[in-house]
Structure 1
Amino acid sequence: MISVATVSAKKRQLDALRKAIRPGALDGLEHSQRIDITYTSNAIEGNTLTAGETALVLEKGITVSGKPLRDHLEAIDHAQALAWVLEIAAQTETPVSETDVRNLHRLVVAKSNPDIAGRYADRPRYVNTDAGSYDFPAPIEIPALMQAFCSWLAAEKDSPKAAFEAHLRLVGIHPFNDGNGRTARLLMNLVLARAGYPPIAIRPGDRPAYISALEASQRGEGHAAFDKLLFSRLDQTLDMYLAAAQQAQDVTATSGKIVPMRT
């Protein structure tokens, strides 16, 4: 399993490289990552847009023939929610509040399911697992559970471990009628960004391991498998950023040299 020390060391290396490259040098990568995070998070929930189609919807405003309108709206909603997450991530002096979580959900379903936007669940929620049907807390329990959850989050130091645990805890409460997974993954990335890490994508190919790890946690079997998957994704994302930053540093260094003319 990738250790906390490993990702911390890579983050420090990335922080140093960011200071050595020109401003905006990683904008292209970060733009691509935002689209990828929207594509992957929605795909895990069954959205049928491909990565390329998601980019067309978000960058060109193109409607993809044969794809449901809801899938387009989910892409737009998620992209706007992610933009808000990265915008407020710098406000590290203020803890993430219950209002923030509800606003995050509101953005996640603003156009695709506006009737439930930012509202706590008013009906039972359950999921079919390998061990049978799993019931989430009753709607009447949600306000108290969310208050306790946000109190816990406010007391935690922003870190990858806190980000991953926040994801698990929010999914366990399942406070909304729909959009819980997307909201939890965005909250995870909010905490990561507050800690200075790049946001990560959980890929569609990860879905079996991801769902299995969530179910293991819900059965009280701990979150080792969940942490292993997400630390691996964070490590890979850091490697991608480090490679791009190193290339940008090389370009910056080369552009400052005077190349002698041939005679």
Structure 2
Amino acid sequence: MRTDLRHQIRNAPYKWTEGLRKFLTADLVAASNSIEGFRVSTVDVADLMEGERDVEVSEDDKEETLAYQRMMTYIQTLHNAPDFAYSKGLLNGLHWMLQGHRHTVAKPAGQWRQAIVYVTDARDPSIAAYTAPKHEEVASLMAELVNWLNQDDGNHPLVRAAMAHLHLVSIHPWNDGNGRMSRSLQTLMIAREGVLAPEFSSVEAWLGRPGNTWEYYRQLADRGSTYLPDQNVASWITFNLTAYHQQAQTVRNRLERSRHVLAQLTDFTEAEGLDERLVSALHDVAMTGRVRRLRYEHAEALSVQQAQRDLRDLTASGILEAIGRTRARYYTAGPRFPQDVITTATTPTTLTDPYRPR
């Protein structure tokens, strides 16, 4: 199924797959951060990634979003990097990208922790749900992990990626950011497999859905309250294989929905006598609920004046509706926006569980 999805992506127009890449990157950043308590919607993350400054999120959430996005952007460039190798330096460098803005002497970023670390129970912080290995053991455990990452032990890359996630989060080598680092390492390993680019490979968006997040916590809790490397991990592997499968289904469904929306909007703009470049702005509104001037400007390589004029004309005709003022302004569907397109874009789809008996 992932190979079929790769062919679908390659055969789709670049401009539309590029938009999907940006959305999926924003989605995984939003989801992985939400697991750690930083709540920024996918569409707000997309706006921040585009360079929008007037997005209504807290400064803390903005910093976490942009830090994770910068790290993920670098990871995306590594998926086909020649002469690539995992190293302690690479992992610490990624951690600095993620946590450098929170660096302190007591809790340094980009360095192994120098103290015991606990993962507390979400319902009662006085209870240690997990106690990580002693800090004196971290360097040797990470050396062992890096050595394993650079070897081919004959297991399937998707299984190895799931195990890399589990190994890293179990060692918990840093003071903070261990969950996001573990999920990012998994994303990098899947991408290095070469079937799908990182944006289409990551399961972080799937893990960030509320029901899946609780199952994710349960799976980690089932591993025990201390570091137990010699244990049966069949349920963890099955959980991750389900995540891979359902995330691939999600990407495929979004690609199909996007394709139908594009066709309908092309017909609509032709019937209205509108320039075909406007499809880009209307497509964003249909698929994400809104568009901002900067995103449309970048998508179509327009000047500020051209983008402003186009959106103003769409608003005057009732196809779009302007919300807010000046730089914070965005546009949503107006009374003349084609309702059949909204229906296509918002009709939910069903995901199948490949491991549940039918």
TM over 0.5: yes
Change (3 A) 1:34 1:239: same
For the residues of structure 2 that align with 1:58 and 1:12, how far apart are their CA atoms? 29
Give the secondary structure class of the aligned counterpart of 2:76. helix
Give the conservation status (yes or no) of the 8 Å contact 1:96–1:154: yes
Alignment match, 1:174: 172
Alignment gaps of 5+ in structure 1: 1-9, 256-263
Alignment match, 1:241: 251
Of 25, 37, 56, which aligns to 1:64? 56
For the residues of structure 1 that align with 2:151 and 2:237, how far apart are their CA atoms? 20
Cα shift readout 1:17-56 (whole Å, capped 9, x = no counterpart): 3443444541111110100111111110011333343334
Give the conservation status (yes or no) of the 8 Å contact 1:92–1:194: no
Q: Does 1:31 align with 2:27?
A: no
Q: Does 1:51 align with 2:42?
A: yes
Alignment match, 2:353: none
Q: Which moved more, 1:14-23 or 1:78-87?
A: 14-23
Aligned pair count reads: 240
- Give 1:76 shift: 0.5
- Give 1:100 shift: 1.4
For the residues of structure 2 that align with 1:218 and 1:128, how far apart are their CA atoms? 13
Q: Does 1:190 align with 2:195?
A: no
Amino acid at match of 2:112: Y
For the residues of structure 1 that align with 2:253 and 2:56, how far apart are their CA atoms? 33
Amino acid at match of 2:56: V
Give the conservation status (yes or no) of the 8 Å contact 1:126–1:135: yes
- Give 1:193 shift: 0.8
TM-score, with structure 1 as normaliser: 0.80
Of 23, 46, 64, which aligns to 1:74? 64
For the residues of structure 1 that align with 2:146 and 2:259, how far apart are their CA atoms? 40
- Give 1:239 shift: 2.1
Alignment gaps of 5+ in structure 2: 267-358
Q: Which moved more, 1:214-223 or 1:169-178?
A: 214-223
Change (3 A) 1:137 1:49: same
- Give 1:249 shift: 8.4
1:193-204 residue pairs with structure 2 within 5 A?
A: 193-195=191-193, 196-197=195-196, 198-200=201-203, 201=205, 202-204=207-209
Alignment match, 1:12: 3
Give the secondary structure class of the aligned counterpart of 1:62. coil
1:120-135 residue pairs with structure 2 within 5 A?
A: 120-129=112-121, 133=128, 134-135=130-131
- Give 1:128 shift: 2.9
For the residues of structure 2 that align with 1:50 and 1:183, how far apart are their CA atoms? 20
For the residues of structure 1 that align with 2:224 and 2:83, how far apart are their CA atoms? 32
Change (3 A) 1:25 1:94: same
Change (3 A) 1:24 1:162: farther
1:75-224 residue pairs with structure 2 within 5 A?
A: 75-91=65-81, 93-111=83-101, 113-115=102-104, 116-129=108-121, 133=128, 134-156=130-152, 159-195=157-193, 196-197=195-196, 198-200=201-203, 201=205, 202-205=207-210, 206-218=212-224, 222-224=232-234
Change (3 A) 1:142 1:184: same
Give the secondary structure class of the aligned counterpart of 1:26. helix
Change (3 A) 1:25 1:56: closer
TM-score, with structure 2 as normaliser: 0.60
Give the secondary structure class of the aligned counterpart of 1:118. coil
Give the conservation status (yes or no) of the 8 Å contact 2:32–2:180: yes
Give the secondary structure class of the aligned counterpart of 2:222. helix
For the residues of structure 2 that align with 1:142 and 1:22, how far apart are their CA atoms? 47
- Give 1:93 shift: 4.4
Give the secondary structure class of the aligned counterpart of 1:64. coil
Change (3 A) 1:241 1:92: farther
Change (3 A) 1:52 1:248: closer
Cα shift readout 1:166-194 (whole Å, capped 9, x = no counterpart): 00000010000000001111111000111
Amino acid at match of 2:202: P
- Give 1:94 shift: 2.1
For the residues of structure 2 that align with 1:177 and 1:92, how far apart are their CA atoms? 31
Greater RCO structure (CA 8 Å; 6+ sep): 1
Change (3 A) 1:248 1:73: closer
Share of identical aligned residues, percent? 22
For the residues of structure 2 that align with 1:53 and 1:23, how far apart are their CA atoms? 23
